[in-house]
Chain A
Amino acid sequence: MSVPTTQRPTGTETATGRLGDITLLPDGIPKVTGDFAYSSDLWMDDMLWGVTLRSPHPRARVRSIDIGAALATAGVTAVLTHEDVPGSKYYGLEIADQPVLAVDEVRYTGEPVAIVAADHPETARRAAAKIVVDYEVLDPITDSRAAMSPDSPLVHATPTQDHYPGGGNILRHVRIRRGDPTLTADVVVTGEYDVGMQDQAFLGPESGLAVPAEDGGVDLFIATQWLHVDQRQVAESLGLPEDKVRLSLAGVGGAFGAREDVSMQIHACLLALRTNKPIKMVYSREESFYGHVHRHPATMRYEHGANRDGTLVYVKCEVVLDGGAYASSSPAVVSNAASFAVGPYNCDNVLIDGYILYTNNPPCGAMRGFGAVQVCFGHESQMDKLAAALGIDPVELRIHNAMAEGSLMPTGQVVEGAAPVAELLRRVKDAPLPAAAPTDSYDLRALPGGVSNTTHGEGVRRGVGYAVGFKNVGYSEGFDDFSTARVRLEVVGGELVATVHTAAAEVGQGLITVMAQIARTELGVEQVINQPADTSIGTAGSTSASRQTYCTGGAVQAACEAVRDGILAMASARGLSVEGAALRDGKIVAADGAAVASVADLLGEEIVEETREFHHRPTEPLTRDLGAPGDIGQGAAHLQFAFAAHRVVADVDVELGLVRLVEVTTAQDVGKALNPLSVVGQIQGGTTQGIGLALMEEIQVKDGKIRNPSFTDYLIPTILDTPPMQVQVLELGDPHAPYGLRGVGEPPTISSTPAVVSALRAATGRPLTRVPVRPEHITGT
C-alpha cells in the first residue's frame, strides 16, 4: 500500500509523564504554530480532487440528473450519482436512512446529490456547477412542533416505526414516568425555554484521502471520531467486505461530536475506486456548515411543584428536539435529554416526554453534552424561577434538593459512587467574588462591547448566576461499549520500549498522552510509542460521551497488566521469585521493594505483546410503555454520571444589551485527574463552548436554509470573550472505573450556559428564556 506524505508532526510522538503528572500534549505546540499535519494536508502526487454537488432546496423531488456537460469538462475523470453506489445506498450511525447521494428526494439544503473527481479542485467545482438537476420543489417541513401533528406531511415517506414507536415524523418518543406526577404542591412554577442550533465549529474542515488498493479495496486516511463505525458504513455502501476498507486516522482539527457521522468518507472512496486514483476531498468552511450535524435546537415546557421549604414534589417536562432530515444519533440524544431533564436533583414524582422529530432542517446529532445541554438550560432556569417564587436563595434551593450517592434518577436508576452536587455548589458559591465593576475604567477590554468602544461604564450592571448539571459517561441503554488495545514491550537499541496500539481517535482531548502515561506507569518504562490509530486493530469505540479515557484507558491498562504478567511469567520460568512483584524503572521490583531483575536483560531479543478488550459494566435499555400500569422509561441505563457546577459574574450594558463576562468559577469531580493539565484544559474549553451557546453561537435557519454558514456570521468566543476562570478539580474516585476516573470532557459545557444566563437575569431582571441571548433580548427592543 502506498502511504500519503506528511512531513509534519502528526501528534503521535512520545509524550512524557506518569499517571497524575502534568503532561504536555505533544500535538499542542505544533497546532498552535501551524506545523501540525491535519487531514486536509494529506498529499499524493498522482491524486485527484473530489467535490460535492449539494441540494439548494430543503425539500424537493429529484426528477432527473444530467451529468453530461460536467463529465465532458477537460480534466474531469468521474461524475457519480446514486446510481453509482454499488452497495447500500443509505447509511447512518443507528438507522440507515441517509442517502449516500440523493436518490429520488432531497430532504435538507446541502444534501449531497453528485460527486466529481478532477485533476484540480477548481476544475471539479466548475464541472459540478454544470450538472443539471431537475428538482420539483416542495414546501419544507421546518417547524418541529408542527411536524408532530398527525396531519403534517412526512419527511420520510416510510418512517422508522420499526426502530422506535413514534409515528409520523416522530423519530423517537421517550416516556419516563415515576411516582405520582398528578400531585399538587404549595408552589408551582411553569416555564417555556428554547435553545438554538449550536455548531461544533471545529477548525479543521471535513477532509481525507482515499487510496485505491491493489486488492480491489481502499485505504482511507481520515479525520474522524470512530474509525470502525466509519469503516462499517463505508464498506456497506461500497459493497465490500470490511477487511477491504482500511482506515487510518489523519490529523484531526477538532470534533466535538461533528465527526461521528460520515461526511465525505464514502464519497472519496467511491471516486477512488471509480478512477483508480487517490482522491482528496476537503470541504470549504461554508460547505463544512452543511457537511456535518449540529446540536439539536430544543423547545421545552416545564412545570415544577415544590413545598414551602423548597423540597421538589414533582417535575413535569416536555422537550421537543428538532432532529432535522436524518436520524444520525438523535434517538440516543433524546433519551439523554429525557434522562437528565430534571437535573441532578431528588424528585420522586416525574413525568417526562422527550420527542425528536424529522424535519427538513439541517440534520442534528452529536455535540458535546449530547442532550443534557438543552435540558440543563431548562431545569436550571426553572430552579432560579422556583427560588424566586419561594424567596429562597437559588444555591440553597439547589443544595436542598441535591442528588447524592444513592439517589434515584427519574429512570429509577440508583446513582452509585460520588455525586457531590451540594459540595460543587458550595465550592463555587464560597469562592471569593471578583472586585466590583470599574466605574471609570478606560481599559475597554474590561467593559461590555470591549474594544468596540461602546461604553465607558454607562448603563453597566453586574449580575451573578449559578448552575449545576450532569450527564452520563459512556454509551448507555445496553450498548456493549468497549475498546481494544495492544501493548508490546521489547528492547530496541538497548532500550526498553513499549508500543501502544489502539484505534482510538485523538481529537485534541489528550488521549495519546494518557495512553502513554498508563503504559509508563504500569510497565515501568520511559520510552512509549503510540502507534497511529487504524482499523488493523479492533474497535476502540467512539471518541465521544466523555468515554475514551475510561474505555480505551481501561483497555490499555488491561493490556499492560497482561504484558506485565507475561514478563513476570518469564522471570518465574527462569527461577526468579516474582510473588507480588511490579515493574518499575525498567526493573522487576519485588513486594519488599528489592530489584529482582532488569526487564531489558530478561527480554533480550524477545517481545511480549498482548491485546485486550475493555468492556464497561453493562447498562440496561429503558423499559418501554407497553400499556402495563406502573412506572415506565425505567432502568439502569447509564454507566457513570459526571457533575459540574458554575458560577458566572457578568457585567451587562443594559442599554445596548452587550455582555462582558467578568469571571467564571467552576467545580467538577473528575474521579482522578490522570493528566491534570488536560483536565483543566477540557474544563476551560468546555466552559467556553457553553458560554458560546449562551451568548452568540447559533446556526440561524430560515425556511430550511442556513443564513450564516461562515465564521463571519457564526460567532464563537475568542480569547477576548473568555473571562478568567477559577477551576476547582475534585478527585473523588469512582470504584468501578479504571483508576477511579470520571469522564471530563462534557460536563463543563452543560452548566456553563445556564449559569451565564442566570447572571444576565440577575443583572437585567429580564426572564431570558432563550439561548443564545441576543442583545435585543436584554434591551427588550
Chain B
Amino acid sequence: MPLPAFTLHRPRSAADAIALLDEDCLAYSGGTELLMAMRMGLIRPTALVDLKRIDELNTITLGADRLLIGAGASHDRVAGDALVAEHAALLATAERLVGNARVRAQGSIGGNICFAEPRSDVATVLVALDATVLLQSASSRRSVPATEFFLGPYWTAREPGELLTAISIPLPAPAGVYLKFQTVERPTVAVAAVALPEGGYRIVVGAVGDLPVSADYAQLTAVDAADLAARVEPVSDLTGSERYKRHVTEVFVRRAVAALAGGR
C-alpha cells in the first residue's frame, strides 16, 4: 500500500514537539512501526513530528537513585551504553536481542513502548525492573509505572498530547535472567526472572499474551511454572498454537528459574 500524504515537522526541542502533538499529529521516531501502520491504513495522521533532531530525547543519564533513558535512544544505543550495562544489565541483554540489525539501529526504546505491540522485549524487562515512564504535555508532567502504562495491545496510558520523554529505572535495579523464544522477528515468549533488591524474586512473562504477566515470590522454589503458563493468554498464529505457546511458557519459566538458581 502506498504511504498517504502528510505534513512533516522537524522541531529541535521537546517543548516545540509537544506544542504540535495531538490526535492527528503523531510523534515519529524511527518510524519502524509507524510507517508500516500508515501504509496499511491502520493509522491516518495528517502530520508527523520527527523526534530525531531533538538531542534531549537521546540522552542516557545517571541520577542519584535512577537511570534515565531518553525516549529517542535506539535499541543499539541502549544495548551498547556503559551506564545501562553497569546499572541495568538485564535491559542491555534484552535490547541486544531485539528484532534485527535494522530495527535495532533505527527503532527507539520510546517508540517500542508507545506503540505497545504486545510482542515486546522492552515491555517485559521494564516491568521486571519496576520502571516508570515520563510523560509530558503542554500543561502537565507525570510519571507512570510500566505496569500501569501498558493497557492492552497497541494501547497505553499516554494521551494524544503527551510526549514520552524518558524511561526511569530505579536503582539498584534487579539482576537476573532473560530468556526469549523467537523464531521470527518478534518474540513469541519472553521470560525475565530477577532477584529483587529488597529480597524475593519476580518472574515476568511477556510477548506471549496481551500484557506482561508479573508475579513475585518469596522463594524461587515457590515459582509455579504451570500456574504462570495458565495465566498467560496466547493467540494461535504463525509462530505456534495457543497450546504450544503455553507449553513453551512453562518450559521457559522452569529454565529461567533454574538458570537464576544456578547463577547463570
Contact = CB atoms under 8 A, between A and B. Distances in A.
Contacts of A126: 2
Interface stretch (B53-61, B130-138, B243-251): B243-251
B166 to A, nearest CB: 29
Interface stretch (A262-270, A298-306, A363-371, A708-716): A708-716
B185 A712 contact: yes
B251 A655 contact: yes
A458 interface: yes
Interface string B146-157: 000000000000
A122 interface: yes
B259 A779 contact: no
B2 A781 contact: no
Contact of A453 (B179, B185, B246): B179
Given A456-B259, A655-B251, A781 B97 contact: no
A129 B2 contact: yes
A448 B131 CA distance: 33
Contacts of A39: none
Contacts of B248: 656, 775
A707 B238 contact: yes
B38 interface: no
A129 B1 CA distance: 8
Interface string B66-90: 0000000000000000000000000
Nearest to A124: B2
**Residue in A696, A707, A712, A775 whose Cβ sees the most chain B Cβ within 10 Å:** A775
Contacts of A125: 1-2
B180 interface: yes
Given A454-B179, A707-B238, A713-B184, A781 B247 contact: yes
Contacts of A401: none
Contacts of A700: 238
Interface in A60-114: none
A442 to B, nearest CB: 9
B184 A712 contact: yes
A449 B182 CA distance: 8
Contacts of B241: 776, 781
B255 A458 contact: yes
Nearest to B3: A122
Contacts of B184: 712-713, 715
A454 B181 contact: yes
B206 to A, nearest CB: 15
Interface string A758-781: 000000000000000011100101
A502 interface: no
A455 B241 CA distance: 21
Contacts of B251: 459, 655-656
B244 A452 contact: no
Given A455-B255, A458-B255, A775 B183 contact: yes
B185 A656 contact: no
The A interface, classified by DSSP as helix, strand, loop or mixed, is loop
Interface size class of B (residues with CB under 8 A): 20 to 34
Nearest to A711: B185
Contacts of B181: 449, 452, 454, 656
A781 B244 contact: yes
**Residue in A455, A779, A781 whose Cβ sees the most chain B Cβ within 10 Å:** A781
Interface string B248-264: 10011001001100001
Given A122-B2, A458-B255, A781-B247, A774 B97 contact: no
Nearest to A655: B251
A74 to B, nearest CB: 13
A458 B2 contact: no
A713 B97 CA distance: 18
Contacts of B97: 452-453
B248 to A, nearest CB: 6
A487 to B, nearest CB: 47
Nearest to B264: A456
Interface size class of A (residues with CB under 8 A): 20 to 34
A456 B254 CA distance: 13
Interface string A703-724: 0000110001101000000000
Interface string A445-471: 000010011111011000000000000
Interface in A368-410: none
B180 to A, nearest CB: 6
A449 B246 CA distance: 18
Interface string A117-155: 000001001100100000000000000000000000000
B2 A453 contact: no
B240 interface: yes
Interface in A509-563: none
A452 B252 CA distance: 12
B180 A775 contact: no
Nearest to A121: B2
Given A122-B2, A452-B180, A655-B251, A774 B185 contact: no
A12 to B, nearest CB: 33
Contacts of A449: 181
Nearest to B181: A454
Contacts of A781: 241, 243-244, 246-247
Given A715-B183, A715-B184, A776 B2 contact: no
A2 B97 CA distance: 50
Contacts of B2: 122, 125-126, 129
Contacts of A775: 183, 240, 244, 248
Contacts of B182: 452
A779 B258 contact: no
Contacts of B246: 781
A34 to B, nearest CB: 16
**Residue in B185, B244, B258, B264 whose Cβ sees the most chain A Cβ within 10 Å:** B244
A708 B239 CA distance: 11
Given A125-B2, A655-B251, A712-B185, A776 B243 contact: yes
A461 to B, nearest CB: 15
A712 B238 CA distance: 11
A775 B258 CA distance: 22
A774 B240 contact: yes
A453 B264 contact: no
A126 B248 CA distance: 43
A234 to B, nearest CB: 28
**Residue in B2, B180, B185 whose Cβ sees the most chain A Cβ within 10 Å:** B2
A675 B232 CA distance: 56
Contacts of B243: 776, 781
Nearest to B255: A458
A197 to B, nearest CB: 14
A700 B237 CA distance: 11
B258 A458 contact: yes
A440 to B, nearest CB: 11
Contacts of A455: 255
A779 B183 contact: no
A431 to B, nearest CB: 30
A753 to B, nearest CB: 19
Contacts of A713: 184, 238
Nearest to A51: B2
Contacts of A122: 2-3
A776 B244 contact: yes
A448 to B, nearest CB: 11
B180 A453 contact: yes
A129 B41 CA distance: 12
Given A125-B2, A126-B2, A708 B238 contact: yes
B36 to A, nearest CB: 10
A554 B248 CA distance: 55
Given A656-B251, A776-B240, A779-B244, 19 more contacts: A122-B2, A125-B1, A449-B181, A453-B179, A454-B255, A455-B255, A456-B264, A656-B248, A700-B238, A708-B238, A712-B184, A713-B238, A774-B240, A776-B241, A776-B244, A776-B247, A779-B247, A781-B243, A781-B247
11 contacts: A449-B181, A453-B179, A458-B258, A459-B251, A656-B181, A656-B248, A712-B184, A775-B240, A776-B244, A779-B247, A781-B246
Q: Which 3 A-B residue pairings sit nearest by Cβ, starting from the closest?
A: A776-B244, A781-B247, A125-B2
